[in-house]
């Protein structure tokens, strides 16, 4: 079960833009990530490579925390907004809930819940 301080440190690292490093530092060796109902991707090295590949396709990514994380035992829920700017300059905002199961101080399982239609809508003006 993660301490609130542990979850806050994880969130701070993600908010700093260190997405791959957050996976390296906070995910178990056998961690998995799952997009909505897709099959899970398993293994920290695979997760890091996938994140790096996704980030390399973007000019920039801005991460926002939309609400404080909910921590209940080994379950954590985080409401994020990511704004992706493509290499052509197109921006798109994307909100998700990350539902995590922690094993001690490491994320072991993570499922992302979001509306896939967000990927087809232009970002809203601030």
Question: 4-115: what fold?
Answer: Nuclear Transport Factor 2; Chain: A, (3.10.450)
More confident residue, 67 or 119: 67
Q: Does pLDDT of 121 surpass 70? A: no
The pLDDT > 90 percentage for the chain reads 83
* 116 — pLDDT class (breaks 50, 70, 90): confident
Give the domain ranges of the chain. 4-115
0.85 cut: is pTM over it? yes
Q: Does residue 98 contact residue 7 with C-beta atoms inside 8 Å?
A: no
pLDDT tens for each residue of 15-30? 999 999 999 999 999 9
Output the pLDDT for position 65: 98
Question: What is the full DSSP assignment across the chain?
Answer: ---HHHHHHHHHHHHTT-HHHHHHHHEEEEEEEEETTSPPEE-HHHHHHHHHHHHHTEEEEEEEE-SPPEEETTEEEEEEEEEEEETTS-EEEEEEEEEEEEETTEEEEEEEE--GGGGGSPPPP-
Q: Does pLDDT of 88 surpass 70? A: yes
Output the pLDDT for position 118: 80
């Amino acid at each position: 079960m993660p301490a609130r301080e542990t979850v806050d440190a994880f969130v701070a690292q993600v908010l700093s833009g260190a997405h791959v490093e957050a996976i390296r530092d906070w995910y178990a060796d056998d961690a998995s990530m799952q997009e909505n109902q897709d099959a899970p991707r398993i293994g920290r090295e695979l997760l890091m490579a996938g994140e790096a590949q996704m980030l390399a396709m973007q000019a920039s990514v801005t991460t926002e925390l939309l609400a404080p994380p909910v921590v209940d035992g080994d379950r954590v829920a985080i409401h994020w907004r990511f704004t992706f700017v493509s290499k052509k300059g197109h921006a798109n905002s994307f909100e998700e809930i990350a539902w995590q199961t922690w094993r001690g101080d490491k994320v072991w399982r993570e499922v992302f819940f979001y509306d896939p239609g967000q990927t087809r809508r232009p970002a809203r003006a601030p």
